[in-house]
Amino acid sequence: MRYLTVLVKSNGESAFHPLGGELTDEPSIKRRAIHHIELLADDTVLLFAEASGSQKRYREIMDDSPHVIDYLVSGDERWMAVSQFEPTEEVRRNLELQRESHLVIDTPIYFTSNGSLKVTCLGTDETFKNLFENVDESDGIAFEILEIGDFDPNQSSFSRMFTPRQEEVLETAVDLGYYNEPRQATLEDIGEVVGIAPATVGEHLRKVEECVFSEIVC
């Protein structure tokens, strides 16, 4: 089994869906992640998503949208929303393609600051190839490959972002108390255990921290 992480962008001026575009453009709402998306038998879409910000404004947008069939919101600062809505033809076609290709989506799917989607898929190289050949026929969506590799079910999505050396340095830093308050180890201490220079330790940790923070706030 292999994993493929891609950035899915709307290839044009409009969003993937008018409803999604309106929610993304609303400054009082921050769309954070999609935990489940499914094309139902009646060709409507069921979406389970996470957001923060104004629930009042979210309800107003959902109530006014001609695409929304039903929705439910629950939570406080970070809240969850279940919605059923009518897809555009392009959205429906791409959800059908995902289902027919036997790809597994490793949720959650994260929203980026500009409304793109960061998606990790599980499958084979042949499955990925076939998917891109079919998606290329659609003018509305563009893909940017971020990373690809062997999938380890015992490995977190965070650790898949690191090289083996970066992971070794991070584990050593944690074990020695580098991230404790007060700090119990220095870059020199970590370097002695791992066998590299302190400056190299610092470089590895900065790259790890950049990956983690980018994943959290994307």
In this structure, are 122 and 192 located in the same domain? no
Name the domain boundary from 122, 150, 178: 150
In this structure, are 105 and 211 located in the same domain? no
pLDDT at 153 (0 to 100) = 63
Look at the chain and report how many structural domains it folds into.
Answer: 2
- CA distance linking residue 16 with residue 148, whole number of Å: 24
- CA distance linking residue 80 with residue 74, whole number of Å: 5
Q: Which residues does 114 contact at the CB level (< 8 Å), separation at least 6?
A: none
In this structure, are 145 and 163 located in the same domain? no
In this structure, are 42 and 130 located in the same domain? yes
Whichever domain contains 204, its CATH number is 1.10.10
pLDDT per position as a tens digit, 191-216: 999 999 999 999 999 988 877 776 55
pLDDT < 70 regions, the chain: 11-15, 134-140, 152-161, 214-218
pLDDT at 181 (0 to 100) = 86
- CA distance linking residue 73 with residue 13, whole number of Å: 29
Q: Which residues does 189 contact at the CB level (< 8 Å), separation at least 6?
A: 176, 178
Q: Is the peptide bond before 108 cis (omega within 30 degrees of 0)?
A: yes
- CA distance linking residue 65 with residue 85, whole number of Å: 9
pTM equals 0.68
The answer to whether 159 touches 211, Cβ cutoff 8 Å, is no
In this structure, are 144 and 164 located in the same domain? no
- Exposed (0-12), middle (13-18) or buried (19+): which is 152, by Cβ within 10 Å? exposed
Q: Which domain holds residue 112?
A: 2-150
- CA distance linking residue 93 with residue 101, whole number of Å: 12
pLDDT per position as a tens digit, 12-35: 555 678 999 899 899 999 998 999
In this structure, are 7 and 104 located in the same domain? yes
Name the domain boundary from 126, 150, 174: 150
Name the domain boundary from 125, 150, 175: 150
In this structure, are 49 and 90 located in the same domain? yes
In this structure, are 63 and 145 located in the same domain? yes
pLDDT at 96 (0 to 100) = 86
In this structure, are 49 and 103 located in the same domain? yes
pLDDT at 42 (0 to 100) = 94
- CA distance linking residue 35 with residue 109, whole number of Å: 7
In this structure, are 76 and 142 located in the same domain? yes
In this structure, are 130 and 29 located in the same domain? yes
**Beta-carbon-side half-sphere exposure of residue 166 (alpha carbons within 13 Å):** 16
- CA distance linking residue 25 with residue 8, whole number of Å: 17
Closest CA to 214 of 80, 109, 113: 113
In this structure, are 105 and 74 located in the same domain? yes
pLDDT at 138 (0 to 100) = 52
Q: Is the peptide bond before 182 cis (omega within 30 degrees of 0)?
A: yes
pLDDT at 158 (0 to 100) = 56
